[in-house]
Amino acid sequence: MNENVILPIGPQHPLLKEPMHFKFTIDGERIVDADIRLGYNHRGIEKACEARTYTQDLYMIERICGICSHTHATNFVQAVEEIMKAEIPSRAKYLRVVVAELERIHSHLLWLGVAGHEIGFDTLFMLSWRDREIVQDLLEIITGNRVNYGMNTIGGVRKDMSKEEISQCLAGLKTLEEQTLYFANVAQNETTFIRRVDGVGILPKDIAISHGAVGPTARGSGVDLDIRRDAPYAAYGEIPFQVITSDRGDVLGRTLVRVGETLEAIKIVRYCLEHLPEGPIVVKLPRKVQVGEAVTRYEAPRGECIHYVRANGSEKPDRVKVRAPTMANLVSIRHCLINQQIADIPIIVAAIDPCISCTDRTAVILKQDGSHKTEVIDWATLRKRAIYKKPLK
Partner 1 sequence: MLIELAKIVIFPGFLFLLAYSLFAQWLDRKLYARMQNRVGPPLVQPLADIVKLFSKETIIPASVDAFLFRVLPYFAFAGVTTSFLFLPVYSSTPVTSFPGDLVVVAYLLTIPTLVLSLSGWVSCNVYSVIGGIRCLSQLFAYEVPFFIALLTPAMLLETWNISEISKNLPSFLAAHPVYIIPVGVAFVVAVISLQGKLERKPFDIPDAETEIVAGPFTEYSGRLFGIFRLTLDMEMVVGVSLLAAIFLGGAMPFLGIPGLVMFFVKTFFILFILAYIKTAVGRIRIDHMVSFGWTTLAPVSILAMLFVVILHKGGLL
In the list 6, 32, 51, 291, the residue contacting partner 1 (rule: CB under 8 A) is 6
- Provide the minimum distance between the beta carbon of 392 and partner 1 in the complex, in angstroms, as a whole number: 21
Q: Can residue 51 be called a binding residue for partner 1 (CB under 8 A)?
A: no
Stretch that binds partner 1, among 13-21, 80-88, 135-143, 245-253 (CB under 8 A): 13-21
Stretch that binds partner 1, among 99-107, 140-148, 150-158, 342-350 (CB under 8 A): 342-350
| Nearest Cα to Cα of residue 238 among 264, 266, 275 | 275
Q: Can residue 127 be called a binding residue for partner 1 (CB under 8 A)?
A: yes
Stretch that binds partner 1, among 114-122, 146-154, 256-264, 272-280 (CB under 8 A): 114-122
Q: Can residue 345 be called a binding residue for partner 1 (CB under 8 A)?
A: yes
Q: What is the DSSP string of 77-133?
A: HHHHHHHTT----HHHHHHHHHHHHHHHHHHHHHHHHHHHHHTT-HHHHHHHHHHHH
**Which residues pair with residue 372 across a beta bridge?**
366
User: φ, ψ for residue 164 (rounded to 5)?
Assistant: -65, -45
Q: Give buried/exposed letters for 166-198 (b at 16+ CB in 10 A, else e).
A: bebbeebbeebbebbeebbebbeebeebeebbe
Q: Can residue 195 be called a binding residue for partner 1 (CB under 8 A)?
A: yes
Tell whether the torsion through CA atoms of 23, 28, 29 and 32 is positive or negative. Answer: negative
| Whether 298 contacts 71, CB under 8 Å | yes
Q: Can residue 27 be called a binding residue for partner 1 (CB under 8 A)?
A: no
In the list 162, 175, 290, 341, the residue contacting partner 1 (rule: CB under 8 A) is 341
Stretch that binds partner 1, among 49-57, 79-87, 149-157, 344-352 (CB under 8 A): 344-352
Q: Can residue 342 be called a binding residue for partner 1 (CB under 8 A)?
A: yes
Stretch that binds partner 1, among 12-20, 174-182, 214-222, 362-370 (CB under 8 A): 12-20
- Strands of 303-311's sheet in order across: 292-300, 303-311, 317-323
| Whether 269 contacts 99, CB under 8 Å | no
Q: Can residue 188 be called a binding residue for partner 1 (CB under 8 A)?
A: no
Residue 115 or 214: the one with the smaller Cβ distance to partner 1 is 115
Residues binding partner 1 (CB under 8 A): 5-8, 13-15, 29, 116-124, 126-127, 130, 190, 192-193, 195-196, 341-346
